[in-house]
Structure 1
């Protein structure tokens, strides 16, 4: 296996014997300057068909969380009839990493559709509950039950392998338009190869899916929402422009709960290292 790019000390982008790109994990395989041939005995696991936009996210995720995500997805593949994309190993690890950060900051965001997910998607919810037990065992972190439902939602979204290309293009256009709104409001140029942009795009895809199914998240987190408004007035102003855009273009009413998550992602997207002033 030929290493063509190092992502971090233990993760590299490689070419297999058929010259197909693969993301490989293995202790120390990223130490040597590429290109070079790596001994297959050093490779612990590989992922094919990883979207390039997710590759940069890997270096920002602790290895133990990537291991946990990999374990969860392997469990999901045993439990589910439908296949799931390899990309979810990365996006789920990123979600878990973010959830643990929120936990450490005592920021618990309620998900009002937990019982609906439990009732309608029993297997996916079981996978989410398995994930919480694994996180508790491996990291001694006690995430709330809502996180099991969020993980279940990741699994549900990943089960659909056959995307409608026309709709996918439309989604990309919507995301580009919203990114333009952010750039205009903050007078910046977003670094589209940055990992925070990848997170933002991933979040927007999930938001658009929920909107199409009329499943916008709603809850009673008014105090948290008001706190964010007071702390980030410029971000709140930008959110109102995004709300108007979605109302005009899609006839969607963005809930306050959706705004909370979107504000957090926009704040990360507009961090100094991820944009050009």
Structure 2
């Protein structure tokens, strides 16, 4: 019912007005919950120059062009409903290849598009022991609950098996907040792409900080700076950036650095991406909650 109401509102209202209403709604929802403690001590500093180097690296791009064929063989390299778009799958691959994390945590598996890209990059660039843990509130490999079945796709586990990557990934079916609170594991990179409501992102981010290894990284998806549309369809996902507003207001040591434009197309004929890194900005200049170097 709520989805139908949202679709009706999008049809009736201009995109700009509807986006502003979405932002306001998320701010009101977030204001109702109590504050979290944000310990940025383990969070590393991400710079614009480091991102540019990762995305423009010729050696990583060569690896991608080699691995892309295998990825496309097991999952259509297309914009699939609910899955991260092809251009952002490549961005994930290249970022993981540059950071070379030994342990990665993904919140929000869904159809496993990002899971496959991360696992392939770990296998190629991070060494034999590198591993991904991916968490979703449902069993994403169950044909009853997994989104893959209604989309006519193979399950995430089957895709990984076909790609020879089964040993690289552990699937967890559990609410993300519960997993983050209970786990003793620590991760070099955490990718937050689960529940996009501002209260959920706000809580998850605080918990994710506690699960980082020293100098670790947190990457967010569907981050729309200032609530502005990034793609021609004009839609936005307001929760992550609204959560970031409150986080940066409550912890001056944290900023957010959107990737901005990719060297290749992301989706809908543009190169813009909604990926954004959290960064430790102690000693750096902040503008509008973003890290600037």
TM-score bin (small chain): 0.3 to 0.5
Question: Structure 2 length normalisation: TM-score?
Answer: 0.31
User: Could you say which structure has the larger radius of gyration?
Assistant: 1
Q: Which has the higher strand share?
A: 2
Higher relative contact order (CA 8 A, sep 6+): 2
